[in-house]
Amino acid sequence: MKKFLSLTLCLAVLLSCALIFAACDNSGKTNETEANTSAKTEAPTQAPADDATEAPTETPTEAPTEEVTDPDEDGTEDGTTDGSGDNGDYDPEYYVVINSAEDLMNFNKAVNEDGEVYFDMTIVLTDDIDLTGYTWVPLDGYAFDYTTFDGNGHTISNMEIVHEPEQGTLADQIGAGFVGVARGDIYFEDITFDNCKVTAYERAIGCLIGCVTGGTMSFENVNVKNFTVDGWMDYANQDRENGGHPISFRSAGFIGHIMAAGSSADFYNCHVDGIKLSGFHNMAGFIGYASQTVDEYCFEDCSVSNAEFTFSYCMSDSYTVDMPRKFVSVFYNAANWADNIDYCIEQGNTFSSVSYFDWTDDNKEYTAGEFRSWTREEADAAAAAG
């Protein structure tokens, strides 16, 4: 009986141990399951924070912003440009943009009537300008200093000037051309004037500038084609209605008269082709009369072709028949009246088909080779003799 009780007690102890072991094993699996479940729950929470939440937020907010603030191709919000006209490449603080004949005439009004000035500015063409039907009033040179006229390779055609100053106007206030009287530094570049005509009754006529009373003029890649100067003057008591004589003196393809002793002009790759000038004297392809600051070194790669100069020395006791030979030349006339044609050629400039006509001798024709003035040596000797 004692053995039976002892065996029963041992079995009870073994069963209790087995139950305890099973309980511990189940507790470990439960904790492992909870850990795995926690890990699976936290990982998906972190991934969408980078891929699903932030990326979609950036894409829809930035793209529409660009479309709203820059709807036009010119880069402005309201469709306007930074410059004038249709070209937004020009800052209106430094540029005046000319797109049409109307623009150019408005510019003329701003200068001559409204008194606007354009110091240190560029007047730029964006297209060819045809002035047919308009009468051009020479621009007042007071409006320009350090001013550039940039043709951008374009042409101003059919400019017509009818100019007659008031009686008593001082000589230094007279001039007819695209610019009437220049008083500050002016630069012309990459522009052509074609089929232009001036009818005037005074001195200083040029297609680009009538008279220079101050500053330096500069021309680069500028052409004057088919330019005509016509008109009559009251000289030696002969009025133009009863005959008179051809237009007064100092006319040329570019500048009629450089009056100021300190002023000058430079020409690079400039050409005169197909011009007809009539005048008293001082006619030439580029400058009708120049101060002593102009010489052959002011011209580089320039040419004069198909030019006709009809001159008159007038019936005056002050002039003799041979005087016009000192007053008419191919490139320019200088203060000493000396022949400068060969000097200009030596600097790489050329001329062809240049003719002179003596209006006082039944329009007798001379070629440029025949019609030569005195040499610089003769001029210097004459000056030394008083």
For the stretch 69-97, pLDDT in tens is 333 334 333 333 333 445 568 999 999 99
Confidence (pLDDT) at 318: 64
Confidence (pLDDT) at 2: 44
Q: In the chain, which residues have pLDDT < 70?
A: 1-88, 166-168, 231-248, 313-325, 386
Does residue 84 belong to any structural domain of this protein? Answer: no
Confidence (pLDDT) at 243: 55
Q: Are residues 28 and 137 in the same domain?
A: no
Does residue 237 belong to any structural domain of this protein? Answer: yes
Q: Are residues 37 and 138 in the same domain?
A: no
Does residue 50 belong to any structural domain of this protein? Answer: yes
Does residue 192 belong to any structural domain of this protein? Answer: yes
Q: Are residues 168 and 36 in the same domain?
A: no
d(CA 339, CA 373): 5
Confidence (pLDDT) at 320: 65
Confidence (pLDDT) at 334: 87
| Token pair in block for residue 304 | 């004069």
Q: Are residues 13 and 162 in the same domain?
A: no
Does residue 90 belong to any structural domain of this protein? Answer: no
Max Cα distance, the chain (Å): 180
Q: Are residues 64 and 113 in the same domain?
A: no
Helix (H, G, I), strand (E, B) or coil at 219: strand
Q: Are residues 249 and 329 in the same domain?
A: yes
Does residue 89 belong to any structural domain of this protein? Answer: no
Q: Are residues 51 and 16 in the same domain?
A: yes
Confidence (pLDDT) at 321: 62
d(CA 335, CA 115): 34
Give the long-range contacts of residues 117-121, CB within 8 A, separation 24 or more: 117/142, 117/143, 117/144, 118/143, 118/144, 118/147, 119/144, 119/145, 119/146, 119/147, 119/184, 120/94, 120/145, 120/146, 120/147, 121/94, 121/95, 121/96, 121/147, 121/148
Q: Which of 21, 52, 69 is the last residue of a domain?
A: 69
Q: Are residues 149 and 65 in the same domain?
A: no
Q: Are residues 110 and 55 in the same domain?
A: no
Confidence (pLDDT) at 313: 63
Beta bridge partners of 181: 140, 211
Q: Are residues 17 and 103 in the same domain?
A: no
Q: Are residues 169 and 277 in the same domain?
A: yes
Q: Are residues 18 and 106 in the same domain?
A: no
Residue 196: which of 168, 172, 163 has the closest Cα? 163
DSSP state of 165: P
Helix extents (H) in the chain: 2-48, 55-69, 101-112, 341-346, 376-384
Confidence (pLDDT) at 135: 93
230 CB contacts (<8 Å, ≥6 apart)?
197, 198, 199, 247, 278
Q: How many CA atoms lie within 13 A of 261 on its CB side?
A: 0
Confidence (pLDDT) at 314: 57
φ/ψ of residue 320, rounded to 5: -115, 170
Number of domains in the chain: 2
Confidence (pLDDT) at 148: 98
| Token pair in block for residue 293 | 């600051």
Residue 121: which of 214, 179, 186, 178 has the closest Cα? 186
Kindly provide the b/e burial profile for residues 303-341, where b requires at least 16 CB atoms within 10 angstroms of the residue's own CB: bbbbbbbbbbbbeeeebeeebbbbbbbbbbbbebbbbbb
Confidence (pLDDT) at 231: 67
CB neighbours of residue 43 within 10 Å: 9
Does residue 79 belong to any structural domain of this protein? Answer: no
Q: Which of 69, 85, 104 is the last residue of a domain?
A: 69
Does residue 45 belong to any structural domain of this protein? Answer: yes
CA distances from 293 to 21, 105, 290, 299, 335 (A): 121, 34, 8, 13, 10
Helix (H, G, I), strand (E, B) or coil at 378: helix
Confidence (pLDDT) at 357: 87
Confidence (pLDDT) at 86: 53
Confidence (pLDDT) at 8: 47
Q: Which domain holds residue 297?
A: 95-384
- Compute the residue count for the chain: 386
Amino acid at position 69, single letter: T
Confidence (pLDDT) at 167: 64
**CATH number, domain containing residue 379:** 2.160.20
Residue 205: which of 162, 145, 151, 234 has the closest Cα? 162
Q: Quote the mean pLDDT of the chain.
A: 77
- For residue range 120-129, list pLDDT tens digits in order: 999 999 999 9
Confidence (pLDDT) at 57: 42
Confidence (pLDDT) at 350: 97
d(CA 187, CA 318): 38
